[in-house]
Structure 1
Amino acid sequence: MTNTKATPSTSLPKEEHIEEIVSSIGPKVKELRQEQRLSLQQLAVKAEVSAAAIHKIERNDMVPTITTLLKVARALDRPVTYFVEGAGDRPEPVAFTPASQRPALFTPHAGLTLAGISGPYAPFRSAVALATVDPGANSGDKPLLHAGEELVFALEGKLVFDIAGTRHEVRKGDALHFMGDQPHHWVNEGKSKARAVWIALRDS
């Protein structure tokens, strides 16, 4: 007697499976961009892809070419397989960053260089970087305001933070931890570079 096994109800025909993967690319791009607090224009600059194209991809109005997808994946610190794998195939939330492969993180502030030492902003809730701040570099004319927390641990040099009107001088070995919804500003007032471990923790 032959025993035939029923096809599991969760299985999809090949054509539907491909369509599911293609239709999931846009939402994944949008979710990562928002989690990393990047505007369309900022992601466009990082990926060297037009903001209009990224907007169309996120809305599923356009299927990206492999070249475009590779650029976007690199900008969002993801392997391209992240965008074309099934939900059940996603890796465990473990990230190892070799010292020689720290990714350069996007920052709009001139004179600030960030080398990532944490995993991607999803599925984790924090982003950690080795920050190098040139003499005179600062966070801009307008106070910064955002959700979540920041923690800065100085490795060398000195950074000056103004948080809600209070001045904090952060020198080697000092740490400063604050909520981002307070108006804040930072500057390197010294004549040499400052280095720090900089941690950003989102609120959810």
Structure 2
Amino acid sequence: MTLSTQEELKKLGIGRKIRSFREEGDMTLEDLAQKANITAALMSQIEQDVVPPTLATLINISHALGKGMDSFFVKDEVMEKVEVTRTNERLSVSRSRESDTTRMTYNFQALSYRLKDKQMETFFVEFDSTVEENPVPLSHEGEEFCYCLEGEIEFITDDRKIRLTPGDSLHFYSNVPHVLRGVGPGNPKAVFVLLPDKEG
């Protein structure tokens, strides 16, 4: 399912789960926002399911709460030891340019969210390269792997600019401030594998 409206976003309830975990941990909204490197105002919007978080922000939130990212996507308490996710079972969040100050426009789908005690986070990402955007560089702890499936994707850091084409892959430490965006015609697609630093 694609969550592109506030009503649909509330069905998945990522923000509601974040707030519940935060309150269970006796953490203030301001404390969580600071640890996630976002403003308290944006954190409030995320918790109210008004604005969907970016992948980087969701990683920082999960790290601050001591939870796996699967905790925000799983629909029930049943966690599997072997998981198969069919195409129609992917959980998807669409982000528009107006969502927040990062100004990213893309759709990401959780490819795995029921596996018990997993270390990796896997996502299918589709960029909208038709929108002019100047996203703010983001960073988080851990490692990140990107495999370009379709179109062209640009990876930008302070001192490097790398363009990926279909079949190319990229592996980097996520604490390097970076931007990943689609370029060229169409909607570039990629698979991302994230390994958050759960020890930090």
Q: Residue 73 of structure 2 aligns with which residue?
A: 77
**Superposition pairs of residues 53-64 of structure 1, within 5 angstroms:** none
- Tell me by how many angstroms 1:154 deviates: 0.4
Q: Distance in 1 between matches of 2:170 and 2:132?
A: 17
**Superposition pairs of residues 78-157 of structure 1, within 5 angstroms:** 78-80=74-76, 82=77, 91-105=79-93, 110-120=104-114, 123-137=117-131, 140-157=134-151
- Tell me by how many angstroms 1:199 deviates: 1.7
Deviates more, 1:111-120 or 1:160-169: 111-120
2:183 to 165, 186, 189: 189
Q: Distance in 2 between matches of 1:97 and 1:189?
A: 29
Q: CA contact under 8 A between 1:148 and 1:179: conserved in structure 2? A: yes
Give the root-mean-square deviation of aligned CA atoms. 3.5
Compared CA separation, residues 156 and 200, structure 1 to 2 (3 A): same
- Tell me by how many angstroms 1:124 deviates: 1.8
Larger Rg: 1
Q: Is the partner of 2:183 in helix, strand or coil?
A: coil
Per-residue Cα deviation, 1:85-122 (whole angstroms, up to 9, x for no partner): xxxxx644433211221111465654301122122587
Q: Distance in 2 between matches of 1:139 and 1:200?
A: 24
Q: Distance in 2 between matches of 1:153 and 1:102?
A: 18
Q: Distance in 2 between matches of 1:46 and 1:190?
A: 30
Question: What amino acid sits opposite 2:75 in the alignment?
Answer: P
- Tell me by how many angstroms 1:137 deviates: 4.9
| Aligned length in residues | 142
TM-score normalised per structure 1: 0.56
Compared CA separation, residues 121 and 114, structure 1 to 2 (3 A): farther
Question: What amino acid sits opposite 2:112 in the alignment?
Answer: S
Question: What amino acid sits opposite 2:86 in the alignment?
Answer: P
Question: What amino acid sits opposite 1:78 in the alignment?
Answer: V
- Tell me by how many angstroms 1:163 deviates: 2.5
Q: CA contact under 8 A between 1:137 and 1:187: conserved in structure 2? A: no
Q: Distance in 1 between matches of 2:74 and 2:167?
A: 33
Where does structure 1 lack aligned partners over 5 or more consecutive residues?
1-25, 49-74, 83-89
- Tell me by how many angstroms 1:166 deviates: 0.6
Structure showing greater relative contact order (alpha-carbon pairs closer than 8 Å, 6 or more residues apart): 2
1:179 has 2:173 as partner: yes
TM-score normalised per structure 2: 0.57
Compared CA separation, residues 184 and 91, structure 1 to 2 (3 A): closer
Q: Residue 18 of structure 1 aligns with which residue?
A: none
Question: What amino acid sits opposite 1:181 in the alignment?
Answer: N
